[in-house]
Chain A
Amino acid sequence: MKLIYQTWWKVLAVLIILYTLIAGLLFDVPHLFILHETIRNVYFHVPMWMAMFTVFGISVVYSIMYLNTGKEQYDLVAVECVNTGTFFYVLGLITGMMWAKFAWGAFWSNDPKQNSAAIAFLLYCAYAVLRNSIDEEQKRAKISAIYNIFAFPIMVVLIMVLPRMTDSLHPGNGGNPAFGKLDMDNHMRVVLYPAFIAWAMIAVWIASLRYRIRLIEYRKNEIN
């Protein structure tokens, strides 16, 4: 937990993202039909999801830790991680829709990947509703922690597993390579993997800021 008060990894994340912004637009990419230059969206659309998975994963860990110890702080971490993850979820969905308009022809084509992503989004909206509907603090923390632990694997199955079992327009589904051997070359990996890590770090940073604000609010209420 001391890590969130340190600065070096935040600077590192910013520097890596600056690198991916510049390299992502200037480095050579594979020449593909339909996609053309939009293939560069991979550097910015996919890391949003990676950032989301990271903070949602952390929130599950802290939900479990909360149930084990009953420390209120852990509950606050879990909530703020989910809030930040939802933000990146929206960014991922919107950038995906934007890209779909130009690659698939419509913002929303009821593709299995899009539909299950929308359902999983509602899953996390339900988390917020559930949490805000309970007044008693400990009850709220406990119930939302349990809900969170169940919501995460369901979200992963909805986004990563179910679309892969049917035909989908999205790369990585229905025998499509996920920008695998055919579309992705090693030039792209040089930019993509640092982008994954750096955006995940940025998401953790934002979540930690939100957690620190919430901790101050929590302590203030405690005294009164």
Chain B
Amino acid sequence: MKKILLSALLLLCFITAFAQQSDHVEMADELRSSGKIYVVVATITIIFVGLAIYLFTIDRRLKKIEKDK
């Protein structure tokens, strides 16, 4: 009886050890829920739109020069 109890107890220890192993992976969940990630998204979007407009103006200026020739 004692042996069975002891082995059951040890098994329980194993379960807790196993549970500790599968911790959850830390992600920026809080950052997203507090809404601050949108600030970053907005900044990146503004920068990229700016760069795209810049490329488009270069394209247009080139077109003008090509027409002059």
Contacts and interface: CB of A to CB of B under 8 A. Distances in A.
A18 B24 contact: no
B44 interface: yes
Contacts, number: 51
A182 to B, nearest CB: 14
B55 A33 contact: no
Given A10-B56, A26-B32, A209-B58, A36 B69 contact: no
A216 B69 CA distance: 9
A3 interface: no
A91 interface: no
Interface SS of A by simple majority: helix
A205 interface: yes
Q: Counting chain A CB atoms within 10 Å of each CB, which of B24, B32, B52, B65 scores highest? A: B52
Interface residues on B, range: 20 to 34
A5 B24 CA distance: 51
A26 B44 CA distance: 13
Contacts of B56: 10
Contacts of B26: 36
A17 B48 contact: yes
A31 B25 contact: yes
Contact of B59 (A10, A22, A25, A36): A10
B25 A25 contact: no
A220 to B, nearest CB: 9
A36 B27 contact: yes
Nearest to A202: B55
Contacts of A21: 41, 44-45, 48
B49 interface: yes
Interface string B36-69: 0100110011001100100110110011011001
Interface string A56-89: 0000000000000000000000000000000000
Given A25-B40, A36-B27, A213-B62, 15 more contacts: A7-B59, A14-B52, A17-B48, A18-B45, A18-B48, A18-B49, A22-B45, A26-B32, A26-B37, A31-B25, A31-B27, A32-B25, A36-B28, A37-B28, A209-B59
B13 to A, nearest CB: 24
A14 B55 CA distance: 10
A219 interface: yes
Nearest to B65: A216
Nearest to A15: B52
Contacts of A29: 27
22 contacts: A5-B63, A7-B59, A10-B56, A14-B48, A14-B52, A18-B48, A21-B44, A21-B48, A22-B41, A25-B40, A25-B44, A26-B41, A31-B24, A31-B25, A31-B27, A36-B25, A36-B27, A205-B55, A209-B62, A212-B66, A216-B66, A216-B69
